[in-house]
A and B are shown apart, each in its own frame.
Chain A
Amino acid sequence: MSEATLLAIFEDLDPAANAIDTLHEMGVGDENINVISGVPVAHKILGRPHPWTNVSKLSMGGAVAGFAFGIFLNFGTPHLYGIQVGGQYVTPIPPGAIVTFEMTMLFALLATFLGVFLDSYFPNYRPLEYVDEVSDGKIAVFFRVAEDDAKKFTDAMNTLGAESVKPAEARQL
């Protein structure tokens, strides 16, 4: 049985939330629904599952790696090319704390930034399902249903106040 992806555009959050409720009632699972909006909308507002993210884990991973790199810079490298300055320790701890702190933060920030790229699959210049109205504040609900049921779902979305319901098409952004 072939499937169709439909796109319903709503003016506001309330009808979009009702539409998602209705889709659930009509047997469409959360894995077959995607919502696109121009501002971040908390999952609880639309009755959607909590979206996963690895960004915070990657941040922590970056911090640990940065800490290790900082320790290496401070306490490893001076022994490679030792600079003996009269009366001073080769690997003193207080300056080491500064360098270690900076490296920890640098790596944590870099990992967080890269985390957004990895989790969101950025950059992505392939054709994607999208409508420009989203950045004008509209809420777009994409859902995948059996092609034979498309008419039934279109009618249901129109009844719930969708501005338009049409087959979603991937296009070059």
Chain B
Amino acid sequence: MTASSKYLSGAHEAHDAHHEEDPKQYLMYDPKPRGEMNAMVMESMHTTSWKFWVVLGVLSFLVVTCFFFAWGYMIDEGLYVGGVMRPAYWGVFLVNTVFWIGISHAGTFISAILRVFKAEFRRPFTRAAELMTTFGLIQAGASIFMHMGRVWLSYWMFPIPNARQLWPNFHSPLMWDLLAISTYVLGSTMYLFLPLIPDLAMARDRSTGWRKTFYKILALGFRGTEGEWRHLTVAMNFFAFAIIPVMFSVHTIVSWDFAMAMRPGWSSSVFGPYFVLGALHSGMGAVAMVLFVMRATMKHMDYFIRKEHFDALGKLMLMVTFAYTYFFFNDYIVQWYGGDKATDNLLHWLEEGPMAWMFLQFVFFNIVIPPLLLWSKKVRETPWLLALIGLMINVGMYWERYLIIPVMLTINRMPFTWKLFQPRLEIFLTIGTFSMFLLFYMIVSRLIPLIPVWEVQEGQMTHSLRKVGKAKLPTISEFE
């Protein structure tokens, strides 16, 4: 009886605590004057410690050596120094391409889909995610050019009249890639820039010297008139709707580079959605990592990026994990059941061969760990833990792409050609692309406001607490 009443009283206390939850823990219900928020964001851009410069220096060194020098050396010597050779002529460069395109998907997903559905938690971190899209696509593009070998002939892919009597073959998935990725790069860069204009104008009003000139040029003379806002919001809404199908098309087309070939492990009708979900899976994980690093290293970011945002992101990651698992299993079971000898060999090789560690790690990091941990609110609200899960997901997804490309090319229908793929200079070039991505991010974090201040303030204006009976309830007004 005593135990029971204790239990009940404990439950009652918990119930009360729940009711007394401070709404100010949520960014939308904890407004600050706009001037103060602007000052915080400007200070976060201007404040750099010596550690920042050390990391910047190391990354710059890695970019010069592992990206530019290594690439130059490969162009001079030939693609063989990279590591590609019979039977796998598609190697780590294409693994990197697929990986970076995957990373780029989170920006659009978070920004566009959450904008369409008016998910308020998106507001402070849309730009950080959109930047990932743009920088990820730059690395994906660079990786394709590395794979191409003779990069100076890349114009052959463009449909321009020429004297060679050669015209791009639009039946080829590689041409679809060119068109889809170009559309996505241009679309996502424009989508990044449009909501940035008002914040560039804000930065212009608060800067001097070269920064003033820089922001003045980029802000294009924006003042915030009714007309300017109207044109901007109509365009952003259009972009939010239009970029979603483009995003889906890009990774679907990337998957068709493989699925259109009659190869064991590749020929699959679910590869399109499987790749799209894989991209979202890795992209969400990357956003968790970026938000953690931003919050930990940049001044005032703990005001803008809070536990609620990690919690919401964690829920999204959990949902994407379930969907990804479903498509992975769907792809796997059909191949496993099919009875094709070459596919059978491949699956056995993945599960028991020398690359089994990679396959098992991929399954563990992407399918087992996330749902086991992300159901817990405590885990979701712990930034470093969510970032760690994001890191594991990304390691797992990189392995998945590695297994799909060079490994599946190696274990083919001709066992006499089987050979363990050994990347060589490709490893340095991979380090180069990762370093360049981080370097771009670090430089831009000091040049443009990573927090869309006007969007945060707009959100705070629409949120208020309404008194109903004895309680104050969160209320959202429709301003549009």
Contacts and interface: CB of A to CB of B under 8 A. Distances in A.
Q: Do A and B bind each other?
A: yes
Interface stretch (B17-25, B238-246, B369-377): B238-246
Interface in B436-466: 454, 457-458, 461
Given A34-B225, A55-B235, A122-B221, A109 B205 contact: no
A113 B221 contact: no
B224 interface: yes
Q: Residue among B166, B198, B223, B461 with the most chain A CB within 10 A?
A: B223
B179 interface: yes
Given A81-B165, A113-B190, A123-B221, A137 B35 contact: yes
Nearest to A66: B183
10 contacts: A41-B226, A41-B479, A59-B235, A102-B246, A108-B242, A112-B190, A120-B228, A135-B198, A136-B38, A173-B221
Interface string A5-26: 0000000000000000000000
A173 B223 contact: yes
B169 interface: yes
B55 interface: no
B226 A35 contact: yes
A40 to B, nearest CB: 4
Given A83-B169, A103-B179, A112-B235, A48 B226 contact: yes
Closest 6 CB pairs of A and B: A137-B34, A124-B221, A81-B167, A136-B35, A40-B229, A122-B220
Given A39-B457, A55-B238, A102 B180 contact: yes
A80 B161 CA distance: 9
Interface of B: 33-35, 38, 159, 161, 165-167, 169-171, 175-176, 179-180, 182-183, 186-187, 190-191, 193-194, 198, 201-202, 204-206, 216-217, 219-235, 238-239, 242-243, 245-246, 249, 253, 454, 457-458, 461, 479-480
Interface in A29-45: 34-43, 45
Contact of B205 (A117, A124, A132): A132
A38 B170 contact: no
Contacts of B161: 80
A64 B310 CA distance: 41
B231 A116 contact: yes
A164 interface: no
Given A53-B230, A117-B220, A132-B206, 17 more contacts: A39-B461, A42-B480, A51-B226, A51-B229, A53-B234, A55-B235, A83-B167, A103-B183, A105-B187, A105-B242, A113-B193, A119-B231, A122-B220, A122-B221, A125-B217, A128-B223, A135-B205
Contacts of A48: 226
B479 A51 contact: no
A35 B216 contact: no
A55 B202 CA distance: 24
Given A39-B457, A92-B171, A116-B231, A106 B220 contact: no
A96 interface: yes
Contacts of A35: 225-226
Q: Residue among B183, B231, B232, B458 with the most chain A CB within 10 A?
A: B231
A120 B170 contact: no
Contacts of B235: 55, 59, 112-113, 115-116
Contacts of B227: 51-53, 119-120
Given A105-B187, A109-B190, A112-B235, A173 B219 contact: yes
A56 B201 CA distance: 24
A27 interface: no
A97 to B, nearest CB: 10
Nearest to B456: A39
A49 to B, nearest CB: 9
A122 to B, nearest CB: 4
B223 A134 contact: yes
B445 to A, nearest CB: 20
Given A83-B169, A95-B170, A105-B245, A34 B231 contact: no
Contacts of B230: 40, 51-53
A135 B229 contact: no
A48 B458 CA distance: 19
Q: Residue among B35, B179, B226, B229 with the most chain A CB within 10 A?
A: B226
Q: Residue among A56, A59, A173 with the most chain B CB within 10 A?
A: A173
A115 B479 contact: no
Interface in A69-95: 73-74, 77-78, 80-81, 83, 85, 88, 92, 95
Contacts of B175: 99
A53 B193 CA distance: 19
B157 to A, nearest CB: 13
Q: Residue among B193, B242, B249, B457 with the most chain A CB within 10 A?
A: B242
A136 B206 CA distance: 10
